[in-house]
Structure 1
Amino acid sequence: MKADEKPFESHRSFTPRIRFFYLLSGVAFATLFFGLAWRQLIQASIYEEKEQQQSMRRLITPGTRGNIYDRKGILLVGNRPRFCVVAYLEELRKEFAERYIQLVREQREKNERVDRDDIKRVARAAVLQKYLDKINALLQKNVQIDPKKLERHFYQHMLLPMTLIEDLTPQEYAILTEQLPVRYPIQVYVDSVRVYPYDSLAAHTLGYVVSSSETADSVPGENLTTFSIKGKSGKMGLEARFDSHLQGLSGYEVCLVDPSGYKYEQLLKKHPEQGKDFYCSLDADLQEVAEMALGDNRGAAVALDVRTGEVLVLASKPDFDLNDFTPYLPQATYDAITERGAWVNRATQGLYPPGSPFKVIASIAMLRNGYLDPHDVHNCVGSIMVGNRQFHCNNLWGHGQLDFRHAISLSCNPFFIEHALKCGHEMLADEARRFGLNQVTHIELPETPSSLIPDKQWKKRRDLGSWTGGDTANMVQGQGFTRVTPLQMACFVASLARGETRTQPTLVHDTHKQPKHGGEAIGLRPEHMKALLEGMEMASTEGTAKSVSVQGFRIAAKTGTAQIRVAGVKRFLHIAWFIGFAPIEDPQIAVAVAIEERDDRDLFYGGTTAGPVARAIFKEFARLLQRQMQNGL
């Protein structure tokens, strides 16, 4: 080898190919490095959230609803425990797997096609039925697993207990609590359902609840998959109006689950809390007396505290047993309530012509505006002609000579028609509106917005022709187009008792709140008010309302019988009315009663039909008032 020769060939620089390879490798490495850094540092929270969503679950448990009491603390709506047999599917996962493997082997030994999904369904049903058969033996039942229900629960509500048997009897509950082991996949689950100690008492006012999904706004883990045990929400009456007050605070549990969805570790847990109690204005004793007095009639009775406007009685018939709604309302029961027309709260939604109680409003209008003097005398001959139409008195032979007090007491139609024709219908309508009879009362329940105080403009808009003297004659008697609710008339008579024009009714019992009725003073001269009240008291002692008389209890009263045309009925049907307040010297309770005629065999008159209902309320109120005085309350 020559001295200048080298033992091997060497390169002093990279070839272009090598340079490109290293450049490409460097770019790839940098991309990988920055990609990993981005995922680890920037997107770490996103992947952590996804991991939580895949491995963590949230369970919401509803809180028990608060109770509803009457003004004296009598329980009207409460809660009772409802015991059910439930299965905790996560406790059965090992047995599900073992049974699945066993069934697969049996299929293979028979050389049959293995449908893994179908075998899993069969395995789960078989395991659960095995446990359920043990429960059946203890309770002497024959309950079978519903495979579709099981699969739906398994995939949608895995972490929640699955109900197998609902509403155990106390005897069944006692047997299972004694026989079932503590660590057992089948347990007795205690739920809470509404209970109504007085069945149908104040059904329309109290209302009912339905199942609902629990909201989880205040529960941590809003991004997690959530399972909620069904709660209750108000559907009608006070249960609906004060739902947020009565609702309990939901409890929750956050847990870790394995890839199959089974729970294996609890991370957070908070127990549910009961909702707030609610004290309504009703008096359970008065309410019960009113409903018993109404009996099988269709109608309503309302009683208000004159000073505060608190509702003491709000009764509507026909009604329904609230316990039929627990734990749910069967379709047959719903249909029966619908057929009887019992859904309507006739106290707040029943629209009726007010009948002769409207004469009290008309009297105020005519006295205030100088169209009536308490000493005016009318010779009633049993009827009066208005145009070419004859309007009869309730006494076909006539009352003879009578003044304003006796006209009110005896409800003489010709007396009031004669004076109404002098003052005109606009004055009557304005007075009715001054007492708010054309508006809803804004009580804490649904009301019909269609009460009506008509005038000539209304009649013209309805293309019913021009206003006539006959319309005015009908109006002053509370007939014709006028429509009001029993609650509105109760508010009117409570306002009259205070000498004001408005009463704000409420179902909330609050001894500290000062009533704010609005309105204004009636504006009658003292001698005019005195004459009006004397006439109303005479009605209760010797006139059309004498059936309401309670010994030692002075009552201002007015009765009436209105006529209403009903679709499909050839003749007019009657509405028996009563309004009044007591005691006259210190008004405390105002009452309105309206009862619908059912057929022509009913003898319907305000004094004989609605009066006894009002009397029962006044009599019970007088008894309670006397007891309070004896107790020094």
Structure 2
Amino acid sequence: MQIVSPRRKRKNPVNTTPYTTLSNVSQQKKKKWLTVGQKDQPIMIMILISLFLFGGIASRLTYFQIIKGQEFAEKAASNRTKIIPQAPVRGNLFDRKGRVLASTRLSHSAYLLPRIQIQPNWEEVKIELAQILNTTPEELEKKIQGENLDSPTLVKIGSNLTPQQITAIEENREVLGDVELNIETIRNYPNNRIASHVLGYTREINAEQLERLRSEGYRLGDVIGQMGVERGLEAKLRGEWGGIILETDGAGKIVRRAGVKEAVAGDDIQLTLDLELQKVAQEALGDRKGAVVALDPRDGAVLAMVSYPGFDPNIFSDNITPEIWQEVQGKGNPFINRSIVGFPPASTFKVVTAAAGMETGKYPPNTVLPTYAFLRRGGMALGEWNRAGFGPMNYIRSMAWSSNTFYGQIGYGIGGENLIEWSRKFGFGSKTGIELLEENPGLIADNEWKKSRFDMEWTGGDTINMSIGQGFTLATPLQVAGMFAIIANGGYRIVPHLENDPDTYLNQKTSLNMQPETLSTIKQGLRSVVTSGTGGGAAVPNIAVAGKSGTAEAPPGKSHAWFGAYAPYDDPSIVVVAFVEHSGGGGGSVAAPIVQRVLNSYFTDESN
């Protein structure tokens, strides 16, 4: 029997070192790394911070050089340049015969760069300059603050400098070293007060105007038309600015002229005014508050336009002191052009009432009406100016003697709506379209206007008042001249104008489509005013004159005097209207002689 012995088990050798695995190795390496990191930690932090800082610097450099590079380059360039603006020469104004009405003359102006405000001696400069330029430090501050600090364009701080002012600036260069002096042109009116309301004046643009007109290229220190044709024709007269670019070194000294943009002069404009006739009209009105208008009824060309009191527009070319301004303003509102301001037109308005009466068909040309001491209609009593009446009258005789009760009946009979309609056809209640932006439209009231103003309905009494040019009705001397022009030229409404462009304005005539009998009847009536009625004072030797007087009630003061006329009667070439405010006399005695003097001058001038 075979005996099998059991297998002997192998004994594990004894291991006195720790049992080693892969994880043990990793832990050992980690402990070693941590040991090293603890020693080098400050260095690593500094490296990280440096990387962060250098990255920020790099990003800012990228921003400044690439994104904002162009802007900073322009600012750097502006710090090395000065721009002396060159104002354009404003266009000249001439009368219809080529005589100068407005021109330019040379003067010196002072300029500063806007960045003067951040210089340490700005306060000292302001005080010194204000004393030399007869202004205040506050005013200088306002002028400078209107431009950006970084602007290289010099700002005008003084114009039309006297030799004494120029010398004072030069003698104080230690303080006023930044002040630039430059030669430029300023406006000059050689005839002083003549036609001042028509021509207007120029003056430096104010803050309100600059805000409104900056988008049109205006800038601080610009001279702009403020009134009259200087304002109305500003776009043509102005021209385009130029400038001189000067390159400077670090000390601000001029190194060279870097470039020039030539200024473009404004347009010269010939006006329709006749300078000599303007002078005669001004002398005829004298020192009485009022206006005189003369125009050509064929095309609306204004030959003369006078308003008193007036002013000398040259004062605005100088630095106006408060004392000078107060003196000018104290002369009865001299800047109001009474030629284009509304007043009650009185009996001159009977021309409209006559036309409306005939054109409606209710009162044809052969109408005869009784006249009364008083006309009682529409809740009112209209008195005849002679306090007795004239007996039966037709259009011609009633026009000659300016009967109130005759035309009161006509107006009441046709009604307010018809009279208002014809008033507006004649151009009343709206602007004429003349180039003077100060023009007032006058007033032709109606039921809607009265209700909104007084919360009352229109009445027959309102119509009667309107028929004789009283009540709410207001008309300007220019509008009254336009009314006479319609009768003179055969029934066409014209556009009064001052720019001498006859072809344009001839094409703007509008026919009122009046019947020939209507025009003929009114013309005969206006002729009889001068030959046998209230207007004998307007008669001119050897010239047939037609016209109409008017005396307007103007409580609480004295009455206004009107007279309007045209001549020659058969082929009219001129209309003249005179208005005297609060004259206290009648139109025939006060205003007619003024018209006569203007007409006489016009027809004795061989060049007309």
User: Shared topology, TM-score over 0.5?
Assistant: yes
Question: 1:575 and 2:560 equivalent?
Answer: yes
Q: Which residue is equivalent to 2:28?
A: none
Deviation at residue 160 of structure 1 after TM alignment: 8.0
Match of 2:88 among 48, 56, 63: 63
Q: Which residue is equivalent to 1:201?
A: 194
Secondary structure of 1:573's counterpart equals coil
Deviation at residue 387 of structure 1 after TM alignment: 6.5
Q: How does 1:505-520 map to 2 (within 5 A)?
A: 505-517=496-508, 519-520=510-511
Match of 1:341 among 324, 333, 339: 333
Match of 2:595 among 603, 614, 629: 614
Deviation at residue 218 of structure 1 after TM alignment: 11
Deviation at residue 363 of structure 1 after TM alignment: 0.6
Per the alignment, do residues 197 and 448 of structure 1 end up closer, same or farther by CA in structure 2, a change over 3 Å counting?
Answer: closer
Q: Which residue is equivalent to 1:354?
A: 345
Secondary structure of 1:586's counterpart equals coil
Question: 1:529 and 2:509 equivalent?
Answer: no
The one-letter amino acid of 1:564's match is A
Match of 2:315 among 313, 324, 342: 324
Distance 1:400 1:49 in 2: 89
Deviations 1:602-624 (A, max 9, x none): 4x111111111211222222223
Deviation at residue 542 of structure 1 after TM alignment: 1.8
Match of 2:76 among 42, 51, 59: 51
- Are the aligned partners of 1:493 and 1:590 in contact in 2 as well (CA < 8 Å)? yes
Deviation at residue 432 of structure 1 after TM alignment: 0.5
- Are the aligned partners of 2:203 and 2:225 in contact in 1 as well (CA < 8 Å)? yes
Question: Structure 2, unaligned stretches of length 5 or more?
Answer: 1-32, 114-118, 168-176
Question: Structure 1, unaligned stretches of length 5 or more?
Answer: 1-13, 90-115, 130-141, 175-183, 220-227, 629-633
Match of 2:581 among 596, 608, 611: 596
- Are the aligned partners of 1:82 and 1:168 in contact in 2 as well (CA < 8 Å)? no
Per the alignment, do residues 260 and 301 of structure 1 end up closer, same or farther by CA in structure 2, a change over 3 Å counting?
Answer: same
Q: Which residue is equivalent to 2:256?
A: 265
- Are the aligned partners of 2:85 and 2:154 in contact in 1 as well (CA < 8 Å)? no
Moved more, 441-450 or 29-38: 29-38
- Are the aligned partners of 2:440 and 2:476 in contact in 1 as well (CA < 8 Å)? no
Per the alignment, do residues 383 and 162 of structure 1 end up closer, same or farther by CA in structure 2, a change over 3 Å counting?
Answer: closer
Secondary structure of 2:551's counterpart equals strand
Secondary structure of 1:357's counterpart equals helix
- Are the aligned partners of 1:87 and 1:164 in contact in 2 as well (CA < 8 Å)? no
Deviation at residue 498 of structure 1 after TM alignment: 2.3
Match of 2:399 among 404, 408, 417: 408
Per the alignment, do residues 38 and 543 of structure 1 end up closer, same or farther by CA in structure 2, a change over 3 Å counting?
Answer: closer
Deviations 1:267-294 (A, max 9, x none): 1134434322122222212211111111
Deviation at residue 319 of structure 1 after TM alignment: 0.9
Distance 2:132 2:82 in 1: 31
Q: Which residue is equivalent to 1:419?
A: 410
Q: Which residue is equivalent to 2:586?
A: 605
Distance 2:345 2:442 in 1: 11
Question: 1:82 and 2:107 equivalent?
Answer: yes
The one-letter amino acid of 2:579's match is A
- Are the aligned partners of 1:60 and 1:229 in contact in 2 as well (CA < 8 Å)? no
The one-letter amino acid of 2:532's match is E
The one-letter amino acid of 1:627's match is S
- Are the aligned partners of 2:90 and 2:238 in contact in 1 as well (CA < 8 Å)? yes
Moved more, 375-384 or 185-194: 185-194
Distance 1:499 1:285 in 2: 28
Deviations 1:236-288 (A, max 9, x none): 11112222322243231223333443333331134434322122222212211
Deviations 1:123-151 (A, max 9, x none): x99xx99xxxxxxxxxxxx98999979x9
Question: 1:559 and 2:540 equivalent?
Answer: no
Secondary structure of 2:197's counterpart equals helix
Deviations 1:555-605 (A, max 9, x none): 22111111123xxx3xx531111222222222222222221115xxx4x11
- Are the aligned partners of 1:550 and 1:618 in contact in 2 as well (CA < 8 Å)? yes
Deviations 1:522-544 (A, max 9, x none): 322x2332222111111112211
Q: Which residue is equivalent to 2:607?
A: 627
Distance 1:146 1:344 in 2: 28
Question: 1:432 and 2:418 equivalent?
Answer: no
Distance 2:135 2:473 in 1: 58
Deviation at residue 166 of structure 1 after TM alignment: 3.1
Moved more, 608-617 or 210-219: 210-219
The one-letter amino acid of 2:586's match is Y
- Are the aligned partners of 1:374 and 1:405 in contact in 2 as well (CA < 8 Å)? no
Distance 1:341 1:490 in 2: 23
- Are the aligned partners of 2:379 and 2:461 in contact in 1 as well (CA < 8 Å)? no
Deviations 1:386-411 (A, max 9, x none): 47754332333443443321111111
The one-letter amino acid of 1:623's match is T
Q: Which residue is equivalent to 1:247?
A: 238
Deviation at residue 483 of structure 1 after TM alignment: 1.3
Q: Which residue is equivalent to 2:16?
A: none
Per the alignment, do residues 371 and 241 of structure 1 end up closer, same or farther by CA in structure 2, a change over 3 Å counting?
Answer: same
TM-score (norm 2): 0.76
What percentage of residue pairs aligned between the two structures are identical?
28
The one-letter amino acid of 1:607's match is G
Per the alignment, do residues 39 and 372 of structure 1 end up closer, same or farther by CA in structure 2, a change over 3 Å counting?
Answer: closer
Per the alignment, do residues 242 and 30 of structure 1 end up closer, same or farther by CA in structure 2, a change over 3 Å counting?
Answer: same
Secondary structure of 1:536's counterpart equals helix
Distance 1:210 1:234 in 2: 7
Distance 2:468 2:493 in 1: 22
Per the alignment, do residues 379 and 87 of structure 1 end up closer, same or farther by CA in structure 2, a change over 3 Å counting?
Answer: closer
TM-score (norm 1): 0.74
Deviations 1:427-486 (A, max 9, x none): 211211222212122221134556222334433443364444433332211111111111
Match of 2:161 among 129, 149, 166: 166
Distance 2:466 2:364 in 1: 20
The one-letter amino acid of 2:92's match is N
Q: How does 1:267-282 map to 2 (within 5 A)?
A: 267-282=258-273
Distance 1:147 1:380 in 2: 68
The one-letter amino acid of 1:540's match is V
Deviation at residue 371 of structure 1 after TM alignment: 2.4
Q: Which residue is equivalent to 1:292?
A: 283
- Are the aligned partners of 2:299 and 2:509 in contact in 1 as well (CA < 8 Å)? no
The CA RMSD over aligned residues, in Å, is 4.4
Distance 1:241 1:396 in 2: 47
The one-letter amino acid of 1:510's match is D
Deviation at residue 309 of structure 1 after TM alignment: 1.4
Match of 2:534 among 530, 541, 544: 544
Per the alignment, do residues 266 and 585 of structure 1 end up closer, same or farther by CA in structure 2, a change over 3 Å counting?
Answer: same
Per the alignment, do residues 491 and 309 of structure 1 end up closer, same or farther by CA in structure 2, a change over 3 Å counting?
Answer: same
- Are the aligned partners of 2:111 and 2:154 in contact in 1 as well (CA < 8 Å)? no
Distance 1:484 1:446 in 2: 17
Deviations 1:500-545 (A, max 9, x none): 3522122211144352435433322x23322221111111122111
Deviations 1:50-92 (A, max 9, x none): 42133233221212212111122111111122358x7999xxx
- Are the aligned partners of 2:348 and 2:469 in contact in 1 as well (CA < 8 Å)? yes
- Are the aligned partners of 1:504 and 1:516 in contact in 2 as well (CA < 8 Å)? no
